[in-house]
A and B are shown apart, each in its own frame.
Chain A
């Protein structure tokens, strides 16, 4: 596979679980084992839009249990003889090679994936991706005193996780959160709507620094109304201790 590959550095690797949950888009080539008409192909592909069930491949790192994944769209860009150039949008953890096998089986004659390029991960598109060569050059330029290019390449973890709902906390609440304490309702200034209990949320300072990732113990509306109790259980702390004063 080629294409968009987000790589987290150092402290940002703590965000891997949420980075892995980002939706993906791919452009690929599916090779059909027998000729079919465009109508049949489109009709068959149409059956795979929405929720599908996949069993992870033999050589995968996860348990080989059937699991559900959502295919947002599957567009046929070009269809020539037995080769189908497609663009697919899907939920994280969808196996595209498997999907092509499934489509082939549904056609009755078989198919396999022959090429795959990832064109989007979350909000990151190919336009924002950089070759290794360019990245290396940017690093060298910085070493020689010009940081402009490297600054463009490094994306703060704060801006890389749009799929996680946000909670902003007061300066005075930060110190204890960096020590692993939970977030209480009175420490919160603003929250995104529709947070559900059990959901992973990102805790931000008012300067938009990522303080921690946590698990919501209250829904958004509850956080607004309640004065006491644990709103968010702190899970992974990003901010170092001692950046904000302890006011207690």
Chain B
């Protein structure tokens, strides 16, 4: 599955493994899996997530839901 080109080590002084991030850093670099209930659109759910986390940007992975939700 992998092709090794050279064996290298990483210097622990620089960077940070994803699991070592602080919550603040996670909020800047993460994906949340929401269990969407019926009623609000995906867009509205995304807006609520933005408010909860007090972030400027949030995006959901579909433009299709909006169309589907217009119908009963």
**A residues whose Cβ falls under 8 Å from a Cβ of B:** 1-13, 15-16, 19-20, 22, 57, 59-62, 93, 95, 97, 116, 118, 121, 124, 126, 128-132, 135-136, 139, 142, 147, 150-151, 153-160, 170-171, 174, 185, 188-193, 205-210, 220-221, 223-224, 238-239, 243-245
Contacts and interface: CB of A to CB of B under 8 A. Distances in A.
Nearest to B67: A59
Interface string B16-27: 111101010011
Given A139-B52, A190-B5, A16 B61 contact: yes
A57 B66 CA distance: 12
Nearest to B71: A97
A173 B66 CA distance: 42
A22 B71 CA distance: 25
A142 B27 CA distance: 12
Main secondary structure, interface of A, reads mixed
Contacts of B15: 171, 174, 205, 207, 209, 239, 243-244
Contacts of A9: 27-32, 49, 53, 55, 57-58
Contacts, number: 215
A13 B52 contact: no
Interface residues of B, number: 56
B32 A153 contact: yes
Interface of B: 1-11, 14-19, 21, 23, 26-38, 42, 45-46, 48-49, 52-53, 55-71
A84 to B, nearest CB: 18
A60 B48 CA distance: 23
A15 B10 CA distance: 25
Given A19-B61, A243-B14, A7 B31 contact: yes
B60 A7 contact: yes
Contacts of B23: 142, 147, 150-151, 154
A3 B10 contact: no
